[in-house]
């Protein structure tokens, strides 16, 4: 599988990982509220988090073929991100706020993505989160908001790209009572559907900046800015 075909897994991971911050102890505010209010609260939730660790499960479906990936996410404000995959084991995503490195050991490939290139990889920071919502039209998904699902209440947002480009054409985001996105569903133009669920979130973890440093293996093939390639 080429690194370009891999990108849809990675894009959703990065997009949602920066949404992951879980604010403990925030008051519930399920009063009358607009979709713009929800977006503002999501941004505030992210800006208030110094660090977190969480587990994730990501499922990809395409023409009857299903693939499941899982692992652990670490984040440190303002823009440090690391994702270690348990399945497939050894795959890793690391960002220092300037670049994202995507290591796929099975292919012996390292993708280096410039966060200034304007792709969704730039959503590893607060400004990047603003760019996400600037690139998509967004509204509530259905009239009933919040709605009951699995014994919990969520606002569900529907996002659609303003301009046709690579990545996800549409997204759905499930926002809980703390304005934390616990689930996302994305669809690409090529027919791939990806669901990401975030669990076991712990905030205010002790993690050093050095944890987010990545040194590519000396024999790995380096690919520069693969996300600039359209599907």
Q: Which of 12-16, 21-25, 52-56, 106-110 has the lowest mean pLDDT?
A: 21-25
- pLDDT tens readout for residues 46-80: 788 888 899 999 899 988 789 999 999 998 888 88
Q: What is the pTM of this model?
A: 0.76
CA distances from 3 to 17, 139, 221, 225, 229 (A): 20, 32, 11, 10, 10
Q: 98: buried, middle or exposed (CB in 10 Å: 19+, 13-18, 0-12)?
A: exposed
Q: Domain 3-221: what homologous superfamily?
A: Lipoprotein localisation LolA/LolB/LppX (2.50.20.10)
Flag whether pLDDT at 229 surpasses 60.
Answer: no
Encode burial over 200-219: b for 16+ CB neighbours within 10 A, e otherwise: ebebeeebeeeebebeeeee
Q: Which sign, positive or negative, has the C-alpha torsion 17, 18, 24, 30?
A: negative
- pLDDT tens readout for residues 82-113: 999 998 888 999 988 778 899 999 999 999 88
């Amino acid at each position: 599988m080429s690194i370009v075909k891999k990108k849809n897994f990675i894009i959703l991971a990065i997009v949602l990982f920066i949404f992951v911050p879980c604010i403990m102890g925030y008051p519930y505010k399920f009063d009358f509220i607009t979709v713009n209010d929800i977006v503002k609260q999501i941004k505030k939730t992210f800006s208030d988090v110094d660090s977190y660790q969480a587990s994730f499960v990501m499922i990809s479906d395409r023409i009857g073929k299903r693939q499941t990936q899982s692992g652990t996410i670490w984040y440190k404000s303002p823009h440090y991100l690391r994702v270690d995959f348990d399945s497939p084991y050894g795959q890793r995503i690391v960002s220092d706020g300037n670049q994202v490195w995507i290591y796929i050991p099975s292919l012996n490939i390292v993708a280096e993505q410039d966060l200034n290139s304007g792709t969704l990889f730039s959503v590893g920071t607060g400004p990047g989160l603003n760019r996400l919502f600037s690139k998509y039209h967004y509204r509530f998904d259905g009239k009933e908001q919040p709605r009951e699902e699995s014994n919990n209440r969520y606002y569900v947002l529907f996002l659609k790209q303003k301009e046709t480009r690579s990545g996800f054409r549409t997204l759905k985001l499930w926002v809980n009572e703390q304005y934390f996105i616990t689930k996302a569903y994305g669809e690409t133009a090529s027919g791939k559907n990806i669901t990401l669920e975030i669990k076991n979130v712990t905030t205010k973890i002790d993690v050093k900046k050095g944890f987010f440093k990545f040194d590519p293996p000396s024999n790995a093939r380096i690919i520069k800015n693969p996300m600039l390639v359209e599907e």
